[in-house]
A and B are shown apart, each in its own frame.
Chain A
Amino acid sequence: MALAFVPAPVASLPWRMLWIVIALAGIGILALYSVADGQFSRWALAHSMRFTAFLGLALVLSYFRPQIFHEYAFIAFAGGILLLIMTLGLGVVRGGARSWLDLGFIRLQPSELMKPVLVLCLARFYAHVPPREIRRFSAIWPVGALLALPILLILLQPDLGTTMLIVLNTVTLMFLAGLPLRLFVGGAAAVAAALPAVYWFLLLPHQRERVLIFLNPEQDPLGAGYHLTQSKIAIGSGGLFGKGMLNGTQASGDFLPEPQTDFIFSAIAEEWGLTGGLVIIGLLFALLHWGMRVAQDARDRFDRLAAAGMTLTIFFYVAINLMMVMGLAPVVGIPLPLISYGGSAMLTCMICLGVLMAIDRSTRAARRR
Chain B
Amino acid sequence: MTRRGAPFVTENNQSHVFSRRAFVLGAGQWGVAALLAGRMGYIAVAENERYASLADENRVQMRLIPPRRGIIYDRHGIPMAYNRSNFRVDLIPDQLEEPERVIPELARLLDLPPEEVERIRRELAAAAGFQPVAVAENLSMEKYAAVTLRLPELHGVSPLSAFARFYPEGPAVGHLIGYVGTPNREDYEAENRNRLLVTPGFKVGKEGLEKVTERHLRGRPGAARIEVTARGRLVRELRTLEDAEGAPLRTTIDAGLQSFAARRLGDESGSCVVMDCRTGDLLCLASMPSYDPNAFADGISRSEWQMFAEDERQPLRNKVLNSLYPPGSTIKPMVAMALLEAAIDPDERVNCPGGYQLGNRFFRCLGRHGSMNMHTAIARSCNTYFYSMGRRIGYDRIAPVARELGLGQRFDLPVVSQSFGTVPDSAWKRRRHAQNPRLIERPDWTQSDTLNASIGQGFLILNPLQLGVMAMCIAAGRKVRPRLIQGEGPRPEPLAYAPDHFEKVRRGMWEVVNGHGTAGASRLPFPDIQMCGKTGTAQVRRITGGQRGQSGAWRYRDHGLFVFFAPFERPLYAGAVVIEHGLGGARAAAPVAKDVLTYLFDKDLAMQSLTALEAQWGGTMIERMERRTAAWNASRPAGGSG
A295 to B52, CA, bound (A): 43
- Contact partners of A252 in chain B: CB under 8 A: 229
Interface string of B1-34 (1 = CB under 8 A from A): 0110010111100110111011101100110110
Given A134-B14, A250-B58, A289-B29, also A240-B44 (CB < 8 A): yes
Q: Which of A24-32, A271-279, A360-368 contacts B (4 or more CB under 8 A)?
A: A271-279
Contact A237 B48 (CB under 8 A): yes
A301 to B3, CA, bound (A): 25
- Contact partners of B11 in chain A: CB under 8 A: 131, 301
Is the contact region of chain B dominated by helix, strand, or loop, or is it mixed?
helix
Which of B18, B45, B227 makes the CB contact (< 8 A) with A249?
Answer: B227
Contact A239 B29 (CB under 8 A): no
Contact A176 B21 (CB under 8 A): yes
Taking the complex as formed, is B224 at the interface, i.e. its CB lies under 8 A from any CB of chain A?
no
- Contact partners of A135 in chain B: CB under 8 A: 3, 6, 9
Contact B45 A240 (CB under 8 A): yes
Contact B47 A236 (CB under 8 A): yes
* Least CB distance, A26 to chain B, in whole angstroms: 21
Taking the complex as formed, is A319 at the interface, i.e. its CB lies under 8 A from any CB of chain B?
yes
Contact A253 B59 (CB under 8 A): yes
CB under 8 Å from chain A, chain B span 617-641:
none
Q: Which 9 A-B pairs have the closest CB atoms?
A: A236-B51, A237-B55, A254-B230, A285-B33, A292-B26, A274-B44, A253-B229, A237-B52, A178-B17
Taking the complex as formed, is A33 at the interface, i.e. its CB lies under 8 A from any CB of chain B?
no
Contact B36 A322 (CB under 8 A): yes
- Contact partners of B10 in chain A: CB under 8 A: 131
- Contact partners of A238 in chain B: CB under 8 A: 44, 48
- Contact partners of A326 in chain B: CB under 8 A: 36, 39-40, 43
Contact A131 B22 (CB under 8 A): no
Interface size class, chain A: 35 or more
- Contact partners of A315 in chain B: CB under 8 A: 29, 32
Contact A233 B17 (CB under 8 A): no
Contact A132 B8 (CB under 8 A): yes
Give the number of A-B contacts (CB < 8 Å): 146
Contact A292 B22 (CB under 8 A): yes
A176 to B18, CA, bound (A): 5
A285 to B33, CA, bound (A): 7
A35 to B272, CA, bound (A): 69
Taking the complex as formed, is A312 at the interface, i.e. its CB lies under 8 A from any CB of chain B?
yes
Q: Can you sample 26 A-B contacts with CB below 8 Å?
A: A131-B10, A132-B9, A176-B18, A176-B21, A230-B58, A233-B55, A235-B44, A238-B44, A239-B44, A240-B44, A240-B48, A253-B230, A255-B58, A274-B41, A281-B37, A282-B33, A285-B32, A296-B22, A296-B23, A301-B11, A304-B22, A315-B32, A319-B29, A319-B32, A327-B39, A328-B36
Which of B18, B25, B29, B51 makes the CB contact (< 8 A) with A232?
Answer: B51
- Contact partners of B6 in chain A: CB under 8 A: 135
A53 to B58, CA, bound (A): 39
Q: A175-B21, A239-B48 are in contact. List 17 more A-B contacts (CB 8 A).
A: A132-B9, A178-B14, A236-B43, A239-B45, A249-B58, A249-B59, A250-B58, A253-B227, A255-B58, A255-B229, A255-B230, A274-B44, A278-B41, A292-B26, A296-B22, A296-B23, A326-B36
- Contact partners of B307 in chain A: CB under 8 A: none
Taking the complex as formed, is B607 at the interface, i.e. its CB lies under 8 A from any CB of chain A?
no
Taking the complex as formed, is B50 at the interface, i.e. its CB lies under 8 A from any CB of chain A?
yes
Is the contact region of chain A dominated by helix, strand, or loop, or is it mixed?
helix
A305 to B19, CA, bound (A): 11
Contact B21 A235 (CB under 8 A): no
A236 to B41, CA, bound (A): 9
Nearest A residue to B39, CB-CB: A326
Contact A233 B14 (CB under 8 A): no
Contact A274 B230 (CB under 8 A): no
Given A277-B40, A323-B36, A326-B40, also A233-B23 (CB < 8 A): no
Taking the complex as formed, is B151 at the interface, i.e. its CB lies under 8 A from any CB of chain A?
no
Which of B3, B35, B52, B227 makes the CB contact (< 8 A) with A239?
Answer: B52
CB under 8 Å from chain A, chain B span 181-212:
none
* Least CB distance, A293 to chain B, in whole angstroms: 8
A274 to B40, CA, bound (A): 7
- Contact partners of A357 in chain B: CB under 8 A: none
- Contact partners of B50 in chain A: CB under 8 A: 236
Contact B51 A254 (CB under 8 A): no
Contact A176 B22 (CB under 8 A): yes
CB under 8 Å from chain B, chain A span 73-92:
none
- Contact partners of A281 in chain B: CB under 8 A: 33, 36-37, 40
* Least CB distance, B459 to chain A, in whole angstroms: 64
- Contact partners of B228 in chain A: CB under 8 A: 253
Taking the complex as formed, is A172 at the interface, i.e. its CB lies under 8 A from any CB of chain B?
yes
Interface string of B224-246 (1 = CB under 8 A from A): 00011111000100000000000
Taking the complex as formed, is B54 at the interface, i.e. its CB lies under 8 A from any CB of chain A?
yes
| Most B Cβ at <10 Å: residue of A172, A177, A269, A274 | A274
Nearest A residue to B6, CB-CB: A135
- Contact partners of A250 in chain B: CB under 8 A: 55, 58-59
Contact A233 B54 (CB under 8 A): yes
A237 to B50, CA, bound (A): 8
